[in-house]
Amino acid sequence: MLALENVHTYYGKSHILHGVSIEVGRGEVVGLLGRNGVGKSTTLKTTMGLVRPAEGRVVFEGKDLAGLAPHKVAHVGIAYVPEDRRIFRLLSVLENLRTGLERPGLSAERRQALLEKVYASFPVLRERRNQAGGTLSGGEQQMLAIARAMMLEPKIILLDEPTEGLMPRMVSQIREIIAILHREGVAILLVEQNVPLTLEVSSRVYIMEKGQVRHHAPAAELRGNHAVIHQYLGV
Amino acid sequence: MTVPIPIEQILVQTVNGIVSGMILALVASGLTLIFGIMDVVNFAHGELVMLGAFVGATTLASTGSFWLAFVTAALVIALFGAVLQASTLRPLLGRDPLTTILATFGISLVLQKYALWQWGPSARKIQEPITGQFHLFYLEYPWYRVATAIFAAAIIGALWLFLRRGKYGIWIRAATQDRIMASAMGIPVPLVHTLVFAIGAGMAAASGVLFGPLGGVTQTMGFDFTLRAFIVVVVGGMGNLGGSILASIFVSLLEAYASLVVSPAQAVIASFVALILTLLFRPTGLFVPTPK
């Protein structure tokens, strides 16, 4: 469904991605592992249209997304949950969610149904719906960021280090959310530092190093292969 | 300075300050909204006031209706603002602030010369739609002045409601806070920028027409508005709508009171002093919470 083909990305003069190729199938959860600064986040940003690839293609359902503005990428069914969450701090929780609901062709009933659905998965967001986004705790902000992405009814969510800096209890909540999304048929491209979690929820895993994909294997295979994990991730 | 200033004079100057403060607030809220969302300091903002006043004066001359002239000027200049933003500012988004400062300064010169060519050098007068006067101590105070303040307040109130409720309000506020995340949420940010610029331009034009009966309409009237609105936006906190409105009234009152002791031309110094003191001691603005 989503394919990056030989993508090269630069920030100014520094060459960040050196020909990255990644595929995510419909409804599939795919992990993207690697040390800090190997280009995992840039891979997601390039997919979202936030950074333009100098070379290569980003193909979604047969359509080349290269050069498309981010809001148009969002409209084709790709949602983005950035590493730093980027909650609209001065907007209320409900208004944060509404940023993804004010789309043409979405009936009032459907909007309400989508809200009810995320409130059911994240009861804390219902409680805090009139509170400013900036006043939420880190874990609550992460939930809001994911819930906000779900408002777009995406076919795939690009999830950038959702468990970073969260308490273990919150981490298991994120694991549950990923499972729920997977059951609903939403594909996920998951960038993580948390190796056990990634191997548990993903079907396949790509491992990046220095702006390139160095290893690609089914997650089940890596679960027993500590040598590969140790070689690329040092854990 | 032993002669005390009579209390009546102070009260009259308070009313004067609030009236001119509300007109200024109408200009400044557009300027601050544009800065907040695009990081563009629009040095042509006063020229939009001036163009609005001319379009208003021309419409009034041919139709005889002040309110029709008012609405026409706001709509025409809003549309013009949209075209201006899409053609000249959109390509410069994200560049060095100096680029957009130079670009908007250039636009202001072009618009001034255009007005000179189109409408000539002599001042136009817009006839006030409300003529009566009332007793204010020793003065016959025109009702129209009070009406402009109320009218400006109503427009600002409508803007506030527009930003609080509904889809476009959420789009504008989200894009103001985080342009990149807003676009990742599917919000058409370039369109929102154009919309905001059009709103700001329309409000500037509205102030131009409201101000017309008080100060006359000339092709050079814009600069004074740009300068005063700029002071107010800095004093109120760049991009902070509520702060700009408070600062408009604050600075106008300051000038009004200063003109009790010095000539009105010198009273302008008071606003510059306020500007300099703000930049020195509260560079984030007077009317914003202290940053933590």
Q: Give the pLDDT confidence of A60-80 residue by residue, as tens digits.
A: 999 999 889 999 999 999 999
Q: What proportion of chain A, given as a percentage, has pLDDT over 70? A: 100
Residue A102 and residue B181: Cβ atoms within 8 Å? no
Dist. CA B290–CA B61, nearest whole Å: 49
Residues of A (12-51) whose Cβ lies below 8 Å from B: 48, 50
Cβ distance of A71 and B189 shorter than 8 Å: yes
Chain B touched by A80 (CB under 8 Å): yes
What is the bridge-based pairing of β-strands A156-160 and A212-218? unpaired
- Give residue B225's pLDDT: 94
Question: For A163-208, how does the pLDDT look when each residue is reduced to its tens digit (9 = 90+)?
Answer: 998 988 889 999 999 999 999 999 999 999 999 999 999 999 999 9
Q: What is the CATH number of the domain that holds A70?
A: 3.40.50.300
pLDDT means per 10 residues in chain B (292 residues)? 76 92 95 92 96 97 95 98 96 88 95 95 90 86 94 96 93 95 96 97 96 93 93 89 93 92 86 90 78 43
| ipTM attached to this prediction | 0.92
Q: Which residue has the tokens 């520094």?
A: A14
| Plot region of A27 (φ>0 → left; ψ -120 to 50 → alpha; else → beta) | left
B247–chain A nearest CA distance, Å: 22
Contact at CB, B184 and A95, closer than 8 angstroms: no
Is B63 inside any structural domain?
yes
CB-based contact A70 B180, cutoff 8 Å: yes
Range of the domain at A225: 2-233
Looking at the complex, does the CB of residue A88 fall below 8 Å from at least one CB of chain B?
Answer: yes
Inter-chain touch A74–B186, beta carbons under 8 Å: yes
Whether residues A90 and B189 touch (CB distance < 8 A) is answered with no
Confirm whether B72 is domain-assigned. Answer: yes
Q: Are strands A14-24 and A63-64 parallel, antiparallel or unpaired?
A: unpaired
Taking the CA of residue A170 and the nearest CA in chain B, the distance in Å comes to 23
Range of the domain at B147: 25-217
Query: CA A198, A200, A205, A209 torsion: positive or negative?
Result: positive
Which residue of chain A has the CA closest to B175? A88
Which of B167, B170, B185 has its CB closest to that of A74?
B185
Q: What does the radius of gyration of chain A's CA atoms come to, in whole angstroms?
A: 17
Which residues of chain B make contact with A75, given a CB cutoff of 8 A?
A: 186
Q: CB–CB of A70 and B184 under 8 A? A: yes
Percent of chain B that is helix, strand, coil (3-state, to 5): 75, 5, 20
CA B149 to chain A, closest CA, distance in angstroms equals: 30
> Around A188, how many Cα atoms within 13 Å sit in the side-chain half-sphere?
29
Residue B180 has its nearest CB partner, among A50, A73, A79, at A50
A77 touches chain B (CB under 8 A): no
Pick the closest to residue B227 from B209, B251, B205, B246 (CA basis): B251
Domain assignment present for residue B64? The answer is: yes
Q: Are B97 and B39 in contact (CB under 8 A)?
A: yes
Rounded to the nearest angstrom, the minimum Cα separation between B169 and chain A is 10
Q: Looking at the partner chain, which of A70, A75, A89 has a beta carbon nearest the beta carbon of B177?
A: A89
Q: How far is A140 from chain B (nearest CA, A)?
A: 18
Span A119-145, mean pLDDT? Answer: 94
- Arithmetic mean of pLDDT, A13-20: 93
Asked whether the beta carbons of residue B180 and residue A95 sit closer than 8 angstroms, the reply is no
- Residues facing A207 on adjacent strands: A33, A215
Q: Using the beta-carbon criterion (under 8 Å), do A99 and B167 form an inter-chain contact?
A: no
Interchain pair B171, A88: CB under 8 A: no
Which residues in chain A are closer than 8 Å to B181, comparing Cβ atoms?
A: 82, 86, 88
Pairing of strands A212-218, A204-209: antiparallel
Domain count within chain A: 1
Is residue A12 pLDDT above 90, yes or no?
Answer: no
Count of C-beta atoms within a 10 Å radius of residue A108: 8
What domain count does chain B have?
Answer: 1
Q: Which helix H or strand E contains A143, and what residues bound it?
A: helix A138-150
